[in-house]
Structure 1
Amino acid sequence: MTHRALWRRLFGRRARVGWLHLVVGGALLMPFYLLAMVVVGPLAGDGSPFASVTTQLLSFAATLPLIAAFGMLAPARPLSVAAIRSLGLLVDVRANGGPAAVRPRGDGLAEGPARTRAARLRASGWFTLHLALGGIISGATLALTPFAGLLLVLPFVPALRDSPYGVPELAGRQWLLALMPGVGILSMLALAAVSAACAELLARSAPVLLGPTPADRVAAAERRAADLAVRNRLARELHDSVGHALSAVTLQAGAARRVLDSGRASDVEFVREALTAIEETTRRTVGELDAVLGVLRRGEDEAAGIAGPSLETLDDLLARSGVQVALSGDGDLAKVPDQVSREAYRIVQEGLSNALRHAGAAPVTLRLSVLDEELEIVMENPLPPEAPAVRPGGGRGLRGVAERSILLGGRTEAGPHHGKWRVVARLPLTGGRLPAARGPGDENAHREDHRDGNGR
């Protein structure tokens, strides 16, 4: 090891940050130490604990169980992790000997309080180690720093040798006096070496003792899954509402343009109705878009509170869909639970969007049947005379319909049926039952059921 590398190890940024972290540990140790002295001092028969080194050592030993007990509390782990991250104790030294680089946020440390017994034991071990080493280094720093300073100037200030802080026995021994500055320097180097070693021990043990336990990893995976579910739901809401609106607006605008191109004055009323429908559709869609984006701005935790449209507002959707819809049904839609009703609305909306996109203004038949245990949705529209152009990457509409059904424990079917395109969705009225496990073959068949060659 070169002199420069040794100097960096003892006095570089990593060493300085490590020493500061240890001093913080020594400061946190003091309340426990003072509490232990109050008990140990009278038991040891020493009225003044600071006058006896033995009493101080006993008090320090009695402090460790108190620290370990405090470390078992849940907040001890986030307190330790916050101290490490704020001071930047964890650094990665590059293999090529380059400068140290502060670790990013993903430093292998656990997030949040320790919940399990194993996590608390590990956090308590690191907290005790931090405060114990911090107390030793802090005490050594307070004692050795003025002592080393005294040794450095002792040969040059005779008055210090006769003072209460001096060493009168050295008065006639000049060779010993000449060695005192070297002893002072060596003592500070020894303190720096011990401090760097303690800081390195803390840095290496932190990911082991403060890292996530298996329970923490499971909890993190559940949070990521919940976050992904929220994102998927918001994506479906945006796709269904905006996609349907754009399809309807495109169809109505195209029809109005063709009427204007024909030059027939008698069709002005049709153009007015088309423009009115475009205005109302875009206004309604902007409201839905603002609601979803508002959830993103406020936080994903509020996504569960999105009410959204339901079957109660289905008549308005059909009236402004841009196609002629023949609605029929069996049973009382009022019996459909709110969650199922909202998803059913989105499924119908996506079906209408597909019909507009692929079949133009062809009429659509819609049947809603409330059975004993499920809601059945059947939508049919004529197949287009020519296969529409495939969109890059395929469509996501039927995939979203399938996802909505699966989340409720239902199932969907989509494909040509007697010369028409047919979409069937069956949603359990209980809502929220998980689907049965699928084998590899079933999963492939599921994908084929909900995506055709036209990119629907």
Structure 2
Amino acid sequence: MTPLFGRRARLRWLHLILGGALLMPYFLAAMVVIASLRPSSTLFASLPHQLVGFVCALPMAAVTALFAPARPLSAGAARALCGLPAGRQLAEGPARTRQARVRTAAWYTTHLALGGVVSALTLALFPFALALVVLPFSETVRGSLVVVPARELDRPWVLALAPFAGVVTLLAVAACAALAGALLAGRAPVLLGPTPEDRLAAAERRAADLAARNRLARELHDSVGHALSAVTLQAGAARRVLDSDPEFVREALAAIEETTRRTVGELDSVLGLLRSGEEQGAAGTTGPALDALDGLLKRCGVPVSLTVEGEPGPVPAAVSREAYRIVQEGLSNALRHGGPGVAVELRIAVRATDVEIVMDNPLPERPAAVRPGGGRGLRGAAERAVLLGGRAEAGPHDGAWRLAARLPLRTDGQEKK
């Protein structure tokens, strides 16, 4: 009996009754129109006229379902009551395209049509079936059952079969409701499911969210990761000479203090992006750029030989920020793998069309230890360059480790600012 009276069957039955209730305003409006055309005192009691009103109500319901809010309301009711097949999802949000509106109208009309039929059967046959069940035990019911002549109800075989006929009628109504509910559940993913436009919009939203998360991950890695690497090495060096060189210890502590102070400011900026959750705000935020490169080189913890060709001033803000982060990652990489004594050669060339960054540092004598999850920094540098339409590569070159990046000053259709 579960398919007919189980929880899923009851919820689907309720969904159909809801459809019948939603059909009533359209049905009454249709009957009013019919009454104005054919005045009659028995109009609402006439089954043919009721059928005509039912048929005329469905196009009216279909028209109202063409409005955009109809889809989320229908989808919400279907999710809660229909018992959808496993793995089938319904669309989110209003219907924006013609195809989505037509599908929603088809679903809404089907829901109201089946709901009207099941509601009518429920209201008409349920009391009749219950009356048949109690017919042998109640003279009052036998006297009030006008659909059968009273003399027929007094026959013993009628009284004996009446309860079975009542049970069969109840089962028939439940079966009709179960079949109609299963039909709606099967059509819901087709008519209320996402259209190709919905899937494309969802994919674009996921891509935008992923890009925003990757941006935040790069910012955290490059700012906080660089600071932690520098602070760790400076603190380790200061610990080793704590008793023999107090002046170096004071300089190291001052560098650690300055590094952490600047990093806290950068961390606040990144967390502000995370709290706002607005891509426009993320794109327009300011951060350290090439004009802050001197401070980065002074506190990076490694000796750097800097060569600048051209004038960094005309570089667009976005390119300047990404160039700063790429240099920062190169210094962090040199510091982690070479230690505080490694020498780094940095060349920045600003041309009319692009900015070129080349960083060289000696390869370590022993291969660097592989850290779980390591390598994100170099991938992040490559992503930064690709997002601007450039490229970045890192690897051994002529006995040294080289990080090279080229960032165009403008992309197609974008003027340099």
Tell me the C-alpha RMSD between the 2 structures: 2.7
2:352 is the alignment partner of 1:375: no
Equivalent residue in structure 1 for 2:73, among 73, 79, 82: 79
Amino acid at match of 1:148: A
Equivalent residue in structure 2 for 1:389, among 347, 369, 380: 369
Following TM superposition, by how much is the alpha carbon of 1:69 offset from its aligned partner in structure 2, in angstroms? 1.9
Q: How does 1:314-353 map to 2 (within 5 A)?
A: 314-353=293-332
2:129 is the alignment partner of 1:148: yes
Decide which moves more: 198-207 or 139-148: 139-148
Distance 1:414 1:429 in 2: 21
Find the counterpart in structure 1 of residue 185 from structure 2. Answer: 203
Q: How does 1:393-408 map to 2 (within 5 A)?
A: 395-408=375-388
Following TM superposition, by how much is the alpha carbon of 1:213 offset from its aligned partner in structure 2, in angstroms? 2.4
Distance 1:180 1:389 in 2: 87
Amino acid at match of 1:17: L
Partner of 1:32, secondary structure, is helix
Following TM superposition, by how much is the alpha carbon of 1:211 offset from its aligned partner in structure 2, in angstroms? 2.1
Distance 1:171 1:424 in 2: 104
Find the counterpart in structure 1 of residue 118 from structure 2. Answer: 137
Distance 1:158 1:393 in 2: 83
Structure 1 residues 75 and 432 mapped into 2: Cα distance closer, same or farther (>3 Å)? farther
Structure 1 residues 159 and 24 mapped into 2: Cα distance closer, same or farther (>3 Å)? closer
Q: Would you say the 8 A contact 2:82–2:185 is kept in 1? A: no
Q: Percent identity?
A: 63
Distance 2:3 2:384 in 1: 59
Structure 1 residues 31 and 305 mapped into 2: Cα distance closer, same or farther (>3 Å)? farther
Find the counterpart in structure 2 of residue 447 from structure 1. Answer: none
Distance 2:412 2:79 in 1: 41
Q: Would you say the 8 A contact 1:109–1:206 is kept in 2? A: yes
Deviation by residue 1:39-58 (Cα, 9 ceiling, x = unmatched): 22212333564232222211
Distance 1:202 1:219 in 2: 26
Q: Would you say the 8 A contact 2:290–2:312 is kept in 1? A: yes
Partner of 2:23, secondary structure, is helix
Find the counterpart in structure 2 of residue 8 from structure 1. Answer: 2
Structure 1 residues 154 and 382 mapped into 2: Cα distance closer, same or farther (>3 Å)? closer
Following TM superposition, by how much is the alpha carbon of 1:268 offset from its aligned partner in structure 2, in angstroms? 1.8
Unaligned 5+ runs, structure 1 = 1-6, 92-102, 435-456
Find the counterpart in structure 2 of residue 212 from structure 1. Answer: 194
Deviation by residue 1:12-61 (Cα, 9 ceiling, x = unmatched): 11211110111121222222222222222212333564232222211111
Structure 1 residues 123 and 327 mapped into 2: Cα distance closer, same or farther (>3 Å)? same
Deviation by residue 1:393-451 (Cα, 9 ceiling, x = unmatched): 652322221111111111224344454433221101115899xxxxxxxxxxxxxxxxx
Distance 1:234 1:136 in 2: 56
Distance 2:41 2:311 in 1: 87
Following TM superposition, by how much is the alpha carbon of 1:160 offset from its aligned partner in structure 2, in angstroms? 4.6
Distance 2:412 2:180 in 1: 54
Q: Would you say the 8 A contact 1:227–1:300 is kept in 2? A: no
Equivalent residue in structure 2 for 1:272, among 250, 255, 258: 250
Distance 2:143 2:240 in 1: 111
2:39 is the alignment partner of 1:45: yes
Structure 2-normalised TM-score? 0.88
Unaligned 5+ runs, structure 2 = none
2:29 is the alignment partner of 1:35: yes
2:121 is the alignment partner of 1:127: no
Find the counterpart in structure 1 of residue 232 from structure 2. Answer: 250
Decide which moves more: 119-128 or 13-22: 119-128
Matched length: 410
Deviation by residue 1:108-131 (Cα, 9 ceiling, x = unmatched): 322222333223222221221111
Structure 1 residues 431 and 310 mapped into 2: Cα distance closer, same or farther (>3 Å)? farther
Amino acid at match of 1:322: G
Distance 2:262 2:246 in 1: 24
Distance 1:432 1:256 in 2: 50
Q: How does 1:60-99 map to 2 (within 5 A)?
A: 60-87=54-81, 89-90=83-84
Partner of 1:334, secondary structure, is coil
Following TM superposition, by how much is the alpha carbon of 1:62 offset from its aligned partner in structure 2, in angstroms? 0.9
Distance 1:284 1:402 in 2: 25
Decide which moves more: 400-409 or 226-235: 226-235
Distance 1:168 1:201 in 2: 35
Q: Would you say the 8 A contact 2:15–2:82 is kept in 1? A: no
Structure 1 residues 9 and 278 mapped into 2: Cα distance closer, same or farther (>3 Å)? same
Q: Would you say the 8 A contact 2:222–2:377 is kept in 1? A: yes
